[in-house]
Structure 1
Amino acid sequence: MGAWLLYGGLAGVFLGVLLLVLTLVWGGRDGREGAAGAVRSIERDYAGRGRSPFEGRAESALMRRFRGLALRLSPAGVVGAMQERLDRAGNPGGWTPERLLSFKGCGLVAGGVVGLLFMLRAPGYGPLLVPAFGAAGFFLPDLLLYNEGLKRQENIGRTLPDILDLLVVSVESGLGFDAALARVGQNTRGPLAAELVRVMQEVQIGKSREEALRAMSHRSSVPELRTFVGALVQASDLGIPIGKVLREQAGEMRVKRRQKAEERAQKLAVKITIPVIFCLFPAIFLVLLGPGIISYLSGSGFR
């Protein structure tokens, strides 16, 4: 009986020491990686907005095979490039690079099958139809993602001057720059407002303001936004007042927006030429010359 008590006591001491070690190890890891973990949680939150209908479902073995096929046909570093394009598109529908690769492989196989079906009706075009439809299905997800990112970046470039005006008013009214970013991000809508909110969240969990702003510029392809971030970082390094920099940048952005509007207005005359020539002129010629041509052909006039 005494031996059993001794063994039980030793086992309890061993379990206690093991739990203490595990607590210290995991607690130290959380303390060291707290900022990094918080950044990852913010990225997961922004990547998970707009959940797709199939979000959260387990990936089937067939989709994993499709992803492997797409990886073998894609160049090295395709996952990182896809993640950058997803960030520029605002991570629509909770998409991930792995899911995109799966659908690229699925599109390749589906396009090949469609090409085979067309080949049965036109056997002579089989060597051209199968690769063409397969390539179309393979690059279709990239095209859709590029289109989504292009629209989002155009929205950012269009709303940037208004956001800068609000920042100027907020800073000159007495708010600090961080508080002005938070206020403008919370009281406005759109992709740029969401980016400002993300910047403030990253600052609150331990990132410096410069790092968070640079990360925002890397997630965007708008030259004006990158210029604005570069001016802010340089002003912070040199000790220049933020309010003065914001006012200069806001004035410059308004000038650029007016210049872009004038450029589009000047291009309108050239763009409207093609529909006028191919759509309007044939109808005018038909109305003006049609009766005369009919009379001439019928022999009742123009003798």
Structure 2
Amino acid sequence: MSLSLPLILLLGLAGALCVVMVVWGAYLATTKTQVAAEPETAAKAKKDDETFILHQITERLGRPFLRPVLEAVGEERRAGIQVRIDAAGRPEDLTVERYVSRKIGEVLLYGTLAVLLFMNGSTMFALIILAFTALTDYALYSEARKRQDQIQRQLPDFLDVLAVTVGAGLSFRQALARVSDSMPGVLASEFQTTLQQMDLGTSRRDAFTALRARNSNESLGRFVSALQQAEELGAPLAQTLMTISHDMRREDAQYLRRKAQKLNPQVTGITAVTMLPGLLLLIGGGLFLGSNIDFGGVLGG
């Protein structure tokens, strides 16, 4: 007797929850009791509240297996993960350790459910559940895309104000700090991170190179390259910033045009999907009703 699909899903979910409870209980039993200070506890509770519920489950599920997996990942792979997290703006205070814990939990939870569905013959549902193993990677990719779009929109205005501030007599570092404080946003936080790196002893060139590596935005990368070239050639910084700002505005207009061109096929597709069925029904119904067909003869009445 074959089981129905809802019953299989319910049994698979119950089995996955049992696995989660067993692993979590083993983790609590092997972990030493620690008493945290009240502010730290409040900060952790706030961080957990902001985390997506599925990420919380998979992160706790994979935490007991974190140490051996981290040792197997290697330093180069960890550095690549850190770059992706930085590009997404470190959402939910995500670290490499938490990322790896989530990936382990996703493979255990969604992989188990996919195997159960596949054994029952539900291949399509198994593939859908298996796709959830990329949930964390998709979230990072989505946040990185959103962050780069915000940087693209904020960069021209930021550079205009920065050029005026440098032209007023402040040094580049002081002007950058003041403009970052007065124009909060994604771009300002990136420059503040760069300033913090310079405060810790990193050279300006290395700090801005790291800024370019953290972000895939082409305009920001060209700004860093032009700034470094101006510094090497000894060009006036205020005039250089003004020239870069004008170039960024032209590139921003081109970027918006390219983005609008990409949206045109999507808008056309959505319009066709939503309007075409009703239009066909209206035309077909009008032709059918206007053909004077004897429904009694057709139906044999």
TM-score for the superposition, normalised by structure 1: 0.70
User: Does residue 82 in structure 1 map to residue 68 in structure 2?
Assistant: no
Shift of 1:260: 2.0
After superposition, the Cα gap between the structure-2 partners of 1:246 and 1:143, relative to the gap in structure 1 and judged at 3 Å, is: same
Provide the C-alpha distance between the structure 2 equivalents of 1:51 and 1:114, rounded to a whole number of angstroms.
30
| Aligned AA (2:104) | G
Checking the alignment, whether the CA contact within 8 Å between 1:83 and 1:96 is kept in structure 2 is yes
Match of 2:233 in 1: 238
After superposition, the Cα gap between the structure-2 partners of 1:138 and 1:282, relative to the gap in structure 1 and judged at 3 Å, is: closer
User: Does residue 171 in structure 1 map to residue 170 in structure 2?
Assistant: no
Shift of 1:170: 1.0
User: Does residue 124 in structure 1 map to residue 121 in structure 2?
Assistant: yes
Question: Residue 205 of structure 2 aligns to a residue in which SS?
Answer: helix
Checking the alignment, whether the CA contact within 8 Å between 2:165 and 2:175 is kept in structure 1 is yes
Shift of 1:197: 1.6
| Aligned AA (2:287) | G
Shift of 1:185: 0.4
Provide the C-alpha distance between the structure 1 equivalents of 2:235 and 2:75, rounded to a whole number of angstroms.
43
Question: Residue 272 of structure 1 aligns to a residue in which SS?
Answer: helix
Match of 1:11 in 2: none
Provide the C-alpha distance between the structure 2 equivalents of 1:248 and 1:49, rounded to a whole number of angstroms.
46
Match of 2:99 in 1: 100
Provide the C-alpha distance between the structure 2 equivalents of 1:80 and 1:277, rounded to a whole number of angstroms.
45
| Aligned AA (1:94) | D
Match of 1:17 in 2: none
| Aligned AA (1:65) | F
After superposition, the Cα gap between the structure-2 partners of 1:194 and 1:227, relative to the gap in structure 1 and judged at 3 Å, is: same
Shift of 1:211: 2.1
Equivalences for residues 59-208 of structure 1 within 5 A: 63-65=63-65, 68=68, 77-119=76-118, 123-125=120-122, 132=127, 135-208=130-203
Provide the C-alpha distance between the structure 2 equivalents of 1:49 and 1:150, rounded to a whole number of angstroms.
27
After superposition, the Cα gap between the structure-2 partners of 1:95 and 1:257, relative to the gap in structure 1 and judged at 3 Å, is: same
- Which has the greater radius of gyration? 1
Provide the C-alpha distance between the structure 1 equivalents of 2:247 and 2:207, rounded to a whole number of angstroms.
23
Provide the C-alpha distance between the structure 2 equivalents of 1:165 and 1:50, rounded to a whole number of angstroms.
41
Question: Residue 169 of structure 2 aligns to a residue in which SS?
Answer: coil
After superposition, the Cα gap between the structure-2 partners of 1:97 and 1:188, relative to the gap in structure 1 and judged at 3 Å, is: same
Structure 1 gap ranges (5+): 1-47
Match of 2:3 in 1: none
Shift of 1:167: 0.7
User: Does residue 288 in structure 1 map to residue 283 in structure 2?
Assistant: yes
Match of 1:224 in 2: 219
Match of 1:43 in 2: none
In the comparison of the two structures, how many residue pairs are matched?
Answer: 247
Sequence identity of aligned pairs in percent? 32
Provide the C-alpha distance between the structure 2 equivalents of 1:69 and 1:164, rounded to a whole number of angstroms.
44
Shift of 1:282: 2.6
User: Does residue 210 in structure 1 map to residue 210 in structure 2?
Assistant: no
| Aligned AA (2:234) | G
TM-score for the superposition, normalised by structure 2: 0.71
Provide the C-alpha distance between the structure 2 equivalents of 1:64 and 1:208, rounded to a whole number of angstroms.
40
Structure 2 gap ranges (5+): 1-42, 51-58, 296-301
Checking the alignment, whether the CA contact within 8 Å between 1:217 and 1:225 is kept in structure 2 is yes
Shift of 1:254: 0.4
After superposition, the Cα gap between the structure-2 partners of 1:198 and 1:156, relative to the gap in structure 1 and judged at 3 Å, is: same
Checking the alignment, whether the CA contact within 8 Å between 1:66 and 1:103 is kept in structure 2 is no
Shift of 1:109: 1.1
Checking the alignment, whether the CA contact within 8 Å between 1:110 and 1:134 is kept in structure 2 is no
**Aligned match for 1:260, one of 251, 255, 273:** 255
Shift of 1:298: 4.7
Residue deviations 1:248-298, cap 9 Å, x none? 100100001112223334444433322232221332232233133145485
Question: Residue 121 of structure 2 aligns to a residue in which SS?
Answer: helix
Shift of 1:165: 0.8
